[in-house]
Amino acid sequence: MKAKWWKVLAIILLAYTLTAGLLLDVPRLPILNETIRALYFHVAMWFTMILLLLVAVVYSIRYLRSNDLKDDDVAIEFTNAAILFGSIGILTGMLWARFTWGAFWVNDPKLNAAAIGMLMYFAYLVLRNSLVDVSQRARIGAVYNIFAFSAFLPLIFVLPRLTDSLHPGNGGNPGFNAYDLDSQLRMVFYPAIIGWTLLGAWIGTLRVRLRRAERKIEEKLINQVS
């Protein structure tokens, strides 16, 4: 029962995020208006992606030290979950951009950096699937995962701040904290990050269990044949 508390917490926080995010009042900011509610979904998705990728990197490092495929299971499945949330983040961001900037995609450094980052992780999946040997796939995937994460963080956090960007907090634009003096957004935004992250961890752990079950079945079939 103790292991299930965080799943219950995820359901409660996401229910709160969806309800409060759509119904509670929000600051009436120029241009943004009601679209600022996308903060609870678009921005929270990216925070979730980064936290899931951090877990994946930790387990990639663990695999390089242990050569235990159980560590690789966590690394690949949490990366898969992170890519899912990153893709949703891109889509929700495009929808938000359509109503605030007038187009689904504009020439913005943070948008372009996010797209490059996603392509790096799609390449990670392609690389893994191109390798047949299980140990080689896990080892090369772990090394790639570490370097990809090391490049991903400055790509989306550092580089956009060095040039003009439409995103708040970048290129001289003030962040949401400068606008949101009464903490209306924080009341939903922080629980949203926790809720979506717990959901991502839930998805990742389910996929890990499935991957390990499939490997056990394959090992049994091999033993039966031999």
Question: Is 0.75 surpassed by the pTM of this model?
Answer: yes
The pLDDT confidence band at residue 45, using thresholds 50, 70 and 90, is very high
Residue entry with tokens 């009042």? 25
Domain that holds residue 141: 2-225
Mean pLDDT of the residues in the chain: 85
- Using alpha carbons only, give the angle 161, 167, 168 rounded to the nearest 5 degrees: 85
Residue type, 150: S
For 120-147, letters b (16+ CB in 10 Å) and e give bbeebeeebeeeeeeeebbbbbbebbbe
Of 87-96, 117-126, 180-189, 202-211, least confident by mean pLDDT is 180-189
For the residues 117-134, what does the mean pLDDT come to? Answer: 93
- In the prediction, which pLDDT does 181 show? 42
**Which pLDDT belongs to residue 26?**
76
Q: Which of the pair, 121 or 176, is modelled with greater confidence?
A: 121
pLDDT digits 0-9 by tens, 165-187 = 565 554 444 455 544 445 778 88
Output the pLDDT for position 171.
47
User: How many distinct structural domains can be found in the chain?
Assistant: 1
Rounded Cα distance, 68 and 73, in Å: 9
